[in-house]
Structure 1
Amino acid sequence: MVDTAVAPSNRKSRERIHFELNSPVIIRNCFRADSEKKFGIKRERWRVFHRGRSSNEEPHVLALTESPIFTVEFDSLPMVDVLYSSKDCPYARWTTANSCTNAATSSDDRIFKDFLHETVREQDVAYNKAKCTRPPDWVKDTVRERMFSLTYLIECLISRGAVVKDQLLLDVATWLDFLTVVSKCYLRNREALVREFENQCEDQITYELSKEEIKRGYRKVRKVVITPTRTIYVVPETLMPNRVLRGYDHDGTRVLRVTFRDDDNQQMRISKTSYHLIKTTLRDNMINGFEIAGRSFGYLGNSNSQMRDAGAYFMEKYSHHEYLEYTAKNKMLPLPTWQPKIDQVRHELGDFTKMENIYKLMARLGQCFTQSMESSVHFEREEYFVMPDIIGGCNREGDHYVFSDGVGMVSKAFAKQIAEDMMLGKCVPSCFQFRFRGMKGVLAVNPVLDEYASWARANNLEGDTGMFAGFELQLVFRDSQVKFKTHRRTKEAVEIVKYSTPSPVALNKPFICILDQVSQMQSYDCHVRVTNRIEQLAEEQLRSSARSLLYEKECRNKLKQFPIPNDKGRTMLGVIDDTGQLQYGQVFVQYTEHVTLKTPPPYASKKVLTGKVMLTKSPSVVAGDVRIFTAVDIPDLHHLCDVVVFPQHGPRPHPDEMAGSDLDGDEYAVIWDEGLMLETSEEAFDYTADKPEYKPINVEKMTEDMVEFYINYITQDSIGTIANSFQFQADLYGLKSEGIMENYGIKSEAEVFSGCIAEMRNRISDRDQDDMSFFTTNELIEQKMTILFREFREGFFEEFGGWRNCVKQAVNPNMVSDDVLDHYIGNPPRCMQRKAVAYYRTCYGSHFRCLFGYCY
């Protein structure tokens, strides 16, 4: 805090700067005498200043170490007049009353306006000038896109704070020199300048999209971080797009990712940010929007997990043509709430006005923001249909249980086409989590569809116009997968969120708590066996990561989860048994033996599990969430691998018994480790939801209602706190103590956003995400690292005649692969060993360990 109005007794103006401390100040002596000029500054650390109010005084050390405030006083601050008072200084225009508008780069500023028109020119856009008497309309769009991109990068640099502003904006001549250099470099090589800007803004860690990433569908999206005091622009980040980005952001300038954070880059919490500040920050930006690089952006929507992270997508409110029409008609600038383009996009995404309430509307709209890979395999309307669900039994509200809730079918031939389109090699996953129009859920491979089509072709049968519409069915959806209505497209395609793959499983704290207490309830022998096995897994985890013990934070992260051996447990998507052969209490489990094969080919070694098996769904809340089943071998289900198949019979669906889950993409921990096995299942908890309150959607106030709900969720977000409190009470009083489930019971997924825990089911953990897309940041990093490893390994063998002439055998002898990462050298020559040692020392030597300012 800066106080420029300090008036002591002599009435001479002074200025003070107050610092609020997180820890005591560190004092270092950075002065040197004239006789010491040939030596460097020693920077000796002092406990106190060696001067008090007068030359013979010295302050007490506690005066510094115990004070939460540190104040520096100056007799005068002439720079204040320069920064805030000068009418000719660009910095002064930057710090006007409207602090969210970057005056230095405003489209109304004469200097910057001339810079843009001289730098971004129509004649630099390539098009067939021989066939055009005037530039096509798309040329003007390209110019506007380039102007926006360049302005955004300059604002991104300036938004880094005074360290940049003080160098560029204190003097008009300096600002003009900077713009002149940018203009010359842009005209000489536009791509190189943009890349250099991004590197400067992100500490030189940005990368261009590789050809493989472009082919997979990745793209770069701009991100803005908004805090209570400032707006920080982030250079475009690489991510897998969603339906909105693919359909309405063709040039990367129409849609922005926005994240709301406190000034310390942590999430805003009432305990430290205050309710008023959070509400003001969110409401001002989400209702009125903001302007960036000459364009006005407004709140469009968000995915479920994005809102849990205080994020959203913003879109330009109106096009350039709509802006000109509005100003010409109304003789004024558009109102902050005028957003015709956003309203039109929401209408095109689907009909959300028929939802029961605003909570359901935001949940369904959020489906359109799930990161997914759009398949280029198209299909016609007669190749899919929607069939009724498998139902049975009734809950306490009298509604039928839906055994096939969220799971449909896909033919093996069509699944193979999707796998080839996703570049999965010869792998054909057994299950795909998808988004299609207003539907969501999973599609399990069912060869019956292929047999049905083959039988029709063999008998020369033609499809009718009834419900099935034809014999060439590729996809079968369920009624439970239809969440909202949307417009049909000429060429239909599914969006893949993730697919079944070999995945390890680990014990987390809630799971361990249930195993510990339930085993104790069942028998002494069971309790001893389970606890001994948990301790054994913990010991193995600590031994395998001994280095992490040197760092407390890393050690705590390691202790949060204990991995289970890959031949004793897996994480799997759940599907339904469409053959009807599985009985209540039975499951079918077949898994790929090598968990490292993320895209296992058809000939990969598999194993069908039989016998006792334990399942649960994270997060586990109560004792009944961990269930014991009997795994059986059903030959007609051998086409399903790395998924757990549940029966369609019984009084209640087995997934619903585990934390109230369903089969629309939930993952289950499947464990057959005898040391961890419970003797039997405890009584399943009833997660039936109360009937939601019906409140019709007011279209005119829809955006305002969405924003109000968003604000309420952020300010009341206590899921993590409740989860920790529940875990603490369960450890202290036991899982079956009175009051725990009354206080922490969770209900319907339909109210996943309500902020009222009593209206939420299976959403007690803030780590849980409704749209757990496979294409996350971790997946992107893994793909980038794989590409780098492959390139460097191929380069390593170049001087030895190429890697194909050097390798002796594959890592897996049964696997046919042309990937350098799948092979190794049996007996390398001495020269190759020396080069390998040099590579290792270069990568992992002492200079590398101290690269980030600390040693490992």
Structure 2
Amino acid sequence: AFQMQLITHRPPNNNYTNHRTPQHNQYHRYRNGGYRNGSNNMGGRSYSNGWNHYDNSGMRDYKEPPPDWKRFVEITFMVSKVPQKADVSEIREAFSSHGNIYKVEFETRDSMEGEQPTGAVRVTFRPVPSTPFWREPVRFHGKDLQVDYLDYMSDHFCDYTDNKKFKLRFHSLRAESLELGVYMQPEVFVSEVKYSELVQFTINYQKRNISVEFGIKNLQQYYMFKMEIEFKDIDGEIHAELDDSRQRSRGIITIANKFPARYWMFDNRLQSKNQFNWRMSDSWKRKTEIRVKKSNTDGIPLQPHMPDNSEQLGKWVVFRITFDLDGVANTHREGFILFKEMMQKASEYNLAPKNAINKRPLRIVDGTNMRKCVERSMLNYDVLYMVECNLSFNFLHDYNLNSEFFSLLNSLPTESATYIMETIYAKKKRQFDPLSYLRYESMRQVERKPRHVPSYCAMMRKVVVTPTTMYILAPTMETSNRVIRHFHHMKDNFLRVQFVDEASNKVSSTNGTHNDALYNKIFKVLCDGIKIGDRHYEFLAFSSSQLRDHSCWFFAPTADKSADDVRKWMGTFSTNKSVAKYAARMGQCFSSTRAIARLPVNDIVKIPDLIRNNYTFSDGVGKISYALSKRVADTLELKTVPSALQFRLAGYKGVLCQSKYLRNNQIQVRPSQEKFASNHYVLEVIRGSTFIPAYLNRQAITLLSVLGVPDNVFIDMKNAQVNELDKMLKNENNAVTVLHKNIDEHGVTKSLADLVKAGFLQSKDRYLMNLISLFSIMMLRDLKKKAKIRVDKGAFLLGVLDEMDALREGQVYCCVSDPANPSSRKVITGPCIVYRNPCFHPGDIRVVTAVPCPDLSHLVDVVVFPAVGYRDIPSECSGGDLDGDDFT
């Protein structure tokens, strides 16, 4: 038996005992039936002991586990007569010499002192012990423990569809080795690293993932690692083959993945959150590299090719697992059957072809001494960036590149070379012979049309950082911001950076230290920056929306401009003593906006806030003249002049509401709108007020139900919406009506309605029918997942203040336009409810009265709140204000 000490200085608590026992590696068949008929309830679970169960008197007729216990994936025992002062670590230490402990669960009872142990503990071993240790006394604190077999484990692994058939939930085999590498050619695998200690391969059909555990030996200690990939991320099918060329037969599978695997390291020092329970999963820590000793990369920026080759793990997306078929079973024939059955099971989930065993083996190349990076610093930066872009996505690989390729690429005009690299990126496929592709494309001499970039947009570069690698994205067009417009001559020095987990999943937060390696990787990149070619990008700032997406801005300094210089130009933020507010104010300059005009200082007038009872009724809202609003509408190419605008101006932000009493290009701002000092007096607009239909969500439905709205009201509204979506493709009028009812702020549904009116639906145009079907599917998906129910007598509008003092307390003014006919308007009257998302308390939904008001008739597609009363209505709606909040 291997005695492994897993990151601890005391005797091992977890041992992978006798790892070469063939019985551990069997394809596990289970007896049909679920729980046995035992009536005892231990922690809410029925169980039986061996083939006999406890009777009502508690007397035990002990018998061993069933004869085929060695074929189980795991086995559980109920340990009795445990001292009440014993803890989880002591139980683990007492049983660690008998096998690998997977789970420890104390039975507890409630008492005046809280949760107290009963003296019974469930101990689960995975894989099963190599010897029947329960036949001998187990000593603990000088006393013998009572060890009883529990038979409820089979339901953990089987999904029962009827009394006879079941589906296996996971499949586990002991493997001989695990190799990580890449494909150099479609049938040539480059083996970069090989692990041959304690390799355990598992396909989990319930969780839809594949995991491989493996050990690394260092100074007589074994360090256990685990890699995991998802079914959905597998690229193509699993390649399976048999190798009978040596004395022992071997089954081999090769898995190509779209993304790097997620890696963990077993740390026995990690404590469970629950003092009475411990699972092996509690001791796995995420890792960004497979090393026993941490590499020293302090001060070194993240780059496509790291000096210590630490980025290679993110490039190894092909995994090769070898099984010793003579070792996984008692005979070679049994081992072959187990391997074949495993692949047949995988084919049922489309992981492998039905004829899973491939007769054509892959050619294996040792990559330990192969050149990892080919010199390419001679390339123009734009070309080099696109080369690194393709390399990061594995569309190209250094093993297929050589000096001849880069010499030819460097000899081409920059525009042609960049275009060829962009075509490789656009195809999203691996090029195994890039030199031939480059020669062919360079001789074609295809005329490239210049890309039209609107004046308010910019081509921006982006990098996505994952735990093991980084993806360099091709430049994409996006609406510019204040900083990019001012430094347009050096816009290529700005870089968007986003931090994600593998497969673009969001990095989650944990209470313990399980994800510390991920957070350390992010912190290191923020401190040391990113280097691509000869440009070293440093952290610059982030906006509030970027913070939610775990992204930020980086900047590559030049000889005369640094990141500090850019931040100084943005404004004076020293008055904000809160770190969060300091960063948020800085991010205000990075909001995507459209520049309208530079305003003279005399046209910007400060007016006081309207404060009553310590409540700021005018929080975030100012005024704008009709002439300037008309200029905004012309610049944004809007058909109507918006009544309100969400804006940025110098250090001001919020909403500007149209005023009948301002002339020329005047605006009036309030102190509540000023967030920092700046002399950038260019009016920048984010959006104008527009009509959007109102939709309920789960939060609103819950609160309205609590407030007395009958459930059948929501059910009827849902049914009506489903029925009208079903009829969209059957009748043109139905389609137009539904599309106009579900108008969106980007005008997509309106464009679809225009195509329907033009007769494309009547002529059964496939493109339009597919678009309408997609629209219907998306609406049904939102209805199912978010309870997004449309309210026909409702609207989702920007909130503004009654500057005319025409409304009384509890009143609102609301005039909305018709999406089908923007010139048509309707004034809402009568009792209404108003709320703001998110809403969590019944008091967040306010009952108001909508009234007609001639003094406010110039305001359309906004909801006007009164300037009088004890407290402003927006702050009563989930603590909202008028600096850009939308209200339903």
Partner of 2:592: 371
The answer to whether the 8 A contact 1:620-1:659 is kept is yes
The answer to whether the 8 A contact 1:270-1:278 is kept is no
- Pick one of 396, 417, 431 that aligns with 1:164: 396
CA–CA separation in structure 2 for the residues paired with 1:575 and 1:542: 34
The answer to whether the 8 A contact 2:461-2:496 is kept is yes
Q: Secondary structure at the match of 1:149?
A: helix
CA–CA separation in structure 1 for the residues paired with 2:411 and 2:774: 50
> Which whole-Å deviations, capped at 9, do the CAs of 1:627-682 have from their partners, x for residues lacking one?
1111111111111000000011011110000000000000000xxxxxxxxxxxxx
CA–CA separation in structure 1 for the residues paired with 2:429 and 2:783: 27
Q: Percent identity?
A: 28
Distance 1:253 1:650, change over 3 A: same
CA–CA separation in structure 2 for the residues paired with 1:359 and 1:666: 20
CA–CA separation in structure 1 for the residues paired with 2:428 and 2:555: 23
- Pick one of 770, 788, 803 that aligns with 1:578: 803
Deviation at 1:228, TM superposition (A): 1.2
Give runs of aligned pairs for residues 211-610 of structure 1, distance below 5 A.
211=452, 214-215=454-455, 217-270=456-509, 274-316=514-556, 318-319=557-558, 321=559, 341-375=562-596, 377-393=597-613, 400-425=614-639, 427-450=640-663, 474-486=666-678, 488-489=679-680, 492-519=681-708, 527-528=709-710, 531-545=711-725, 555=781, 558-566=784-792, 568-594=793-819, 600=822, 604-610=823-829
Distance 1:197 1:477, change over 3 A: farther
Unaligned runs of at least 5 residues, structure 1: 9-13, 32-42, 95-103, 117-146, 170-174, 323-339, 394-399, 451-471, 520-526, 670-856
Q: Secondary structure at the match of 1:282?
A: helix
Amino acid at match of 2:619: D
- Pick one of 388, 391, 394 that aligns with 1:155: 388
Amino acid at match of 1:388: P
Partner of 1:667: 886
Deviation at 1:292, TM superposition (A): 1.0
Deviation at 1:498, TM superposition (A): 1.1
Partner of 2:22: none
Give aligned pairs, total: 515
Partner of 1:454: none
Give runs of aligned pairs for residues 165-180 of structure 1, distance below 5 A.
165=397, 167-169=399-401, 175-180=402-407
The answer to whether the 8 A contact 2:387-2:421 is kept is no
Partner of 2:856: 637
Q: Secondary structure at the match of 1:512?
A: helix
Distance 1:571 1:649, change over 3 A: same
Give runs of aligned pairs for residues 44-193 of structure 1, distance below 5 A.
55-57=332-334, 58-60=336-338, 79-80=365-366, 83-86=367-370, 89=371, 91=372, 94=373, 104=374, 109=375, 112-113=376-377, 115-116=378-379, 147-161=380-394, 164-165=396-397, 167-169=399-401, 175-186=402-413, 189=416, 192-193=419-420
Partner of 1:101: none
Distance 1:474 1:151, change over 3 A: same
> Which whole-Å deviations, capped at 9, do the CAs of 1:392-436 have from their partners, x for residues lacking one?
01xxxxxx11100000000001110111111224x1000000011
Amino acid at match of 1:430: S
The answer to whether the 8 A contact 1:576-1:646 is kept is yes
Distance 1:7 1:583, change over 3 A: closer
Partner of 2:228: 20
> Which whole-Å deviations, capped at 9, do the CAs of 1:163-203 have from their partners, x for residues lacking one?
6215534xxxxx22322342344368467446535524699
Amino acid at match of 1:649: V
Distance 1:479 1:186, change over 3 A: same
Largest Rg, 1 or 2: 2
Q: Secondary structure at the match of 2:788?
A: strand
Amino acid at match of 1:419: A
The answer to whether the 8 A contact 1:585-1:630 is kept is yes
The answer to whether the 8 A contact 2:628-2:665 is kept is no
Larger mean Cα displacement after TM superposition, 149-158 or 188-197: 188-197
The answer to whether the 8 A contact 1:156-1:201 is kept is no
Deviation at 1:353, TM superposition (A): 1.6
Distance 1:76 1:411, change over 3 A: closer
Deviation at 1:614, TM superposition (A): 1.2
Q: Secondary structure at the match of 1:264?
A: helix
Q: Secondary structure at the match of 1:617?
A: coil
Distance 1:247 1:618, change over 3 A: same
Partner of 2:768: none
> Which whole-Å deviations, capped at 9, do the CAs of 1:677-725 have from their partners, x for residues lacking one?
xxxxxxxxxxxxxxxxxxxxxxxxxxxxxxxxxxxxxxxxxxxxxxxxx
TM-score, normalised via structure 2 length? 0.53
CA–CA separation in structure 1 for the residues paired with 2:567 and 2:470: 26
The answer to whether the 8 A contact 1:541-1:562 is kept is no
Distance 1:572 1:5, change over 3 A: closer
Larger mean Cα displacement after TM superposition, 343-352 or 266-275: 266-275
The answer to whether the 8 A contact 1:201-1:235 is kept is no
CA–CA separation in structure 1 for the residues paired with 2:415 and 2:524: 41
Deviation at 1:497, TM superposition (A): 0.9
Q: Secondary structure at the match of 1:607?
A: strand
> Which whole-Å deviations, capped at 9, do the CAs of 1:223-273 have from their partners, x for residues lacking one?
101011111100012211111222234343110011101122101124599
Deviation at 1:364, TM superposition (A): 0.8
Q: Secondary structure at the match of 1:152?
A: helix
Larger mean Cα displacement after TM superposition, 149-158 or 506-515: 149-158
Amino acid at match of 1:345: V
Unaligned runs of at least 5 residues, structure 2: 1-177, 180-192, 199-215, 218-223, 243-253, 255-321, 432-447, 727-772
The answer to whether the 8 A contact 1:202-1:235 is kept is no
Between Structure 1 and Structure 2, which shows a larger proportion of helix residues? 1
Partner of 1:758: none
CA–CA separation in structure 1 for the residues paired with 2:774 and 2:539: 43
Amino acid at match of 2:885: D
CA–CA separation in structure 1 for the residues paired with 2:397 and 2:225: 20
CA–CA separation in structure 2 for the residues paired with 1:52 and 1:545: 60
Distance 1:653 1:17, change over 3 A: closer
Distance 1:208 1:474, change over 3 A: farther
Partner of 1:613: 832
> Which whole-Å deviations, capped at 9, do the CAs of 1:52-77 have from their partners, x for residues lacking one?
556533344787779xx99x9xx999
The answer to whether the 8 A contact 2:696-2:791 is kept is no
Distance 1:554 1:210, change over 3 A: farther
The answer to whether the 8 A contact 1:548-1:554 is kept is no
Between Structure 1 and Structure 2, which shows a larger proportion of strand residues? 2
> Which whole-Å deviations, capped at 9, do the CAs of 1:78-122 have from their partners, x for residues lacking one?
733xx3324xx3x1xx4xxxxxxxxx4xxxx5xx34x43xxxxxx
Deviation at 1:21, TM superposition (A): 5.0
CA–CA separation in structure 2 for the residues paired with 1:362 and 1:29: 53
Q: Which has the higher contact order (CA 8 A, sep 6+)?
A: 1
Deviation at 1:290, TM superposition (A): 1.7
> Which whole-Å deviations, capped at 9, do the CAs of 1:733-782 have from their partners, x for residues lacking one?
xxxxxxxxxxxxxxxxxxxxxxxxxxxxxxxxxxxxxxxxxxxxxxxxxx
CA–CA separation in structure 2 for the residues paired with 1:620 and 1:558: 20
